[in-house]
Amino acid sequence: MCGIVGYIGKEEALPILLEGIKNLEYRGYDSAGFAIVGDDKKVSSEKAVGKVAALFEKISGRSFPGKLGIIHSRWATHGGVTELNAHPHSDCAGKIWVAHNGIIENYKELKKELLGKGHKFKSETDTETIPHLIEEEIKTLSFQEAVRSALKKIRGTYGLVIVNSDEPHTLIAARNFSPLLIGLGDGEYIVASDAAAVLKYTKNVVYLDDGEMAVMTPSSHKVFDLDMNHREKETHVIDWSPELAQKGGYANFMLKEIFEGPEAVENSVRGRLIAKEGLVKLGGLSDSLPLLRDAKRILISGCGTAYYAGRVGEYMLEEYGGIPVEVDVASEFRYRKPVFREGDIFLAISQSGETADTLAALREAKEKGVPVMGIVNAIGSTIARYTDAGVYQHIGPEIGVASTKAFVSQVSILALLTILIGRQREMSLVTGRRIAEELKKIPDMIRRVLKQNDEIAELARKYQKFNNFLYLGRKYNLPVAYEGALKLKEISYIHAEGCGAGEMKHGPIAMIDENFPSVFIAPQDSVYEKMISNIEEVKARRGPVIAIATEGDEKIGEIADDVIFIPKTLEMLTPILSVIPLQLFAYHFGVLKGLDVDKPRNLAKSVTVE
Ligand code: F6R
């Protein structure tokens, strides 16, 4: 969580830092602040509570000269949302400034010790211990050595950028379990927690690994481990254009990204399907084919939307792949002491590739010797690098906090995996071909669903007066019911619950009356008749019903109050279509309530704390 950017080079730092942090705001946005070091060794800093715009407003018309600086946008973990708790934090002398993403677990002990030595703290944060620790160490060591020595005393996670006004030509960055990369410019370096902050200036980046620190001057950069051994680092070229990270004419990122659903599926599937032979070629898994062939079970883990994609994958892989699958929310996985067996494969699903819970689950499996694989969007992210093998989503950055295009892409990749694993087992050529052919048609089918955007907006208007919703599905569309409810909750702060339609009679139906609408995901599939009976049960209790149904289904229109149609496709692929109206419904609901749908309150795009 939290966005951090650091700059050192030939340009004025502040405009570059502000531009960078604007692009990272989705990582956290309850307060923001910066510190700039001038050539005269003077530090100027400003902080503001609220979104980055509040900081912009506060500094408007003022100048903050200096070619070295750090900036931060916060998602609070320790200490309330106040200006004093906003980063960067400094030492007693106001010389050493630190912006931090992560959690310092032993900060209480460290703080006690530092208070005992006379240090004065201004904030309630764990982060503030770092500049004070460095201040203590720098009494006998160089800046670089002092940082290293301080880091050795810290237990926890961090992505850090650090400046010292006594050294106006040095920027230090360090990483432990919180993402950090260095953009390599021409006579300048931009350190950031995410590539979105550096793309405007350079496409060449170096990813820091855990336990590494980088020391930069305007003309050089060196990476070390915490024992000061030099680390040779590879330069990666990121081919995302800065425009990709912009809104492209849409009112906001969420709508743009929902409308990018068709391209997301195309990009995730492109070059990977050999439809005629009913086969799939996944480059990132080519060395793992024997492992997959011998696998006896797949353990899938992820959080939120990625977890729901995994639940769709479970149905696909068991029904068509012929392999047992277990899916866990990553935040529970390692705490329930999972029992691993010979032949297990662990599959992490994560758009950002940085979700702390997913990473922790992955580590748990890897440490127990289980081969680990991933479905990840962010290239070079921690999860992508930590897995033994994997499949990239190739959908460009997802900026809106609510995950939308990532879900359709993840489910498409799980369909590819199903063909791959299925064909290694009992799946016939005909079935492999059929799924492949149908998957190719999905992008155009999504486009057809998107054409109903205006009708869905109208529906959102009609249902604005309700404060509770039940989302119901069965089999492949049960995870979609959960996902639809999650979207409505996070975007419009409306209470929504996902529920198996078969479970409804075991409790949730008690809530139904004329003020409690239900959204039924009921395409014409193997559980269609059961869904129709469930709709009847709700109607018998005067509950309003919205149904997501297959084009041409006239029967459902007679019982549901409102129907949104999706094209007919294979049952296993329906979630890629049925989720779209639910994304749009949540989107319009939020917009009509006047909410910031790209940055819902209390959330952050990439949840890098547990
Ligand atoms: C919901 C949402 C979250 C994420 C979850 C996992 O709209 O965005 O539930 O899906 O935090 O994030 P990734 O996929 O980055 O691991």
Tell me the one-letter amino acid at 92.
C
pLDDT band at 581 (very low <50, low <70, confident <90, very high): very high
- Predicted confidence (pLDDT) at residue 294 exceeds the cutoff of 80: yes
**In this predicted model, what pLDDT tens digit does every residue of 342-388 receive, in sequence order?**
999 999 999 999 999 999 999 999 999 999 999 999 877 889 989 99
> Which residues are known to be catalytic?
2, 605
- Predicted confidence (pLDDT) at residue 245 exceeds the cutoff of 60: no
Please tell me the least confidently modeled range out of 54-68, 74-88, 142-156, 195-209: 74-88
**In this predicted model, what pLDDT tens digit does every residue of 307-354 receive, in sequence order?**
999 999 999 999 999 999 999 999 999 888 899 999 999 999 999 999
Of 42, 86, 85, 84, the closest CA to residue 64 belongs to 42
Of 421, 411, 376, 391, the closest CA to residue 279 belongs to 421
Alpha-carbon span 396 to 382, nearest angstrom:
17
Please tell me the least confidently modeled range out of 57-61, 392-396, 441-445, 473-477: 392-396
Of 320, 269, 346, the closest CA to residue 425 belongs to 320
Which residues, in sequence order, are CB contacts of 377 under 8 Å at separation 6+? 350, 351, 352, 353, 392, 393, 394, 395, 398, 406, 409
pLDDT band at 250 (very low <50, low <70, confident <90, very high): confident
Percent of the chain with pLDDT over 90: 85
- What pLDDT shows up at residue 396? 78
Averaged pLDDT for residues 397-420? 96
Tell me, in angstroms, the distance from the centre of ligand 1 to residue 92's CA: 39
Alpha-carbon span 193 to 607, nearest angstrom:
12
- Predicted confidence (pLDDT) at residue 541 exceeds the cutoff of 80: yes
Which residues, in sequence order, are CB contacts of 551 under 8 Å at separation 6+? 565, 566, 567, 568
- What pLDDT shows up at residue 569? 98
Tell me, in angstroms, the distance from the centre of ligand 1 to residue 526's CA: 29
Tell me, in angstroms, the distance from the centre of ligand 1 to residue 402's CA: 7
pLDDT band at 76 (very low <50, low <70, confident <90, very high): confident
Ligand 1: residues whose CB is within 6 Å?
Answer: 303-306, 350-352, 355, 358, 402-403, 486, 490, 606-607
Q: Where are the alpha helices (DSSP H) in 246-355?
A: 253-259, 261-269, 289-294, 304-316, 330-333
- Counting every residue written for the chain, the total comes to 610
- Predicted confidence (pLDDT) at residue 540 exceeds the cutoff of 70: yes
Please tell me the least confidently modeled range out of 88-97, 191-200, 433-442: 191-200
Give the pTM: 0.78
- What pLDDT shows up at residue 37? 98
**In this predicted model, what pLDDT tens digit does every residue of 526-537 receive, in sequence order?**
999 999 999 999
- Predicted confidence (pLDDT) at residue 242 exceeds the cutoff of 70: no
Mean pLDDT of the chain: 94
Q: Which helix (H) or strand (E) holds 207?
A: strand 204-207
Nearest CA to ligand 1 atom 10: 305
**In this predicted model, what pLDDT tens digit does every residue of 119-153 receive, in sequence order?**
999 999 999 999 999 999 999 999 999 999 999 99
Tell me, in angstroms, the distance from the centre of ligand 1 to residue 334's CA: 19
Nearest CA to ligand 1 atom 3: 304
Nearest CA to ligand 1 atom 7: 402
- Predicted confidence (pLDDT) at residue 251 exceeds the cutoff of 90: no
pLDDT band at 27 (very low <50, low <70, confident <90, very high): low
Q: Token pair for residue 232?
A: 């040779």
Nearest CA to ligand 1 atom 16: 350
* From 27, 194, 333, 355, mutation site for ligand 1 pocket: most ligand atoms within 8 A of C-beta: 355
- Predicted confidence (pLDDT) at residue 298 exceeds the cutoff of 60: yes
Please tell me the least confidently modeled range out of 131-140, 178-187, 246-255: 246-255
- What pLDDT shows up at residue 547? 98
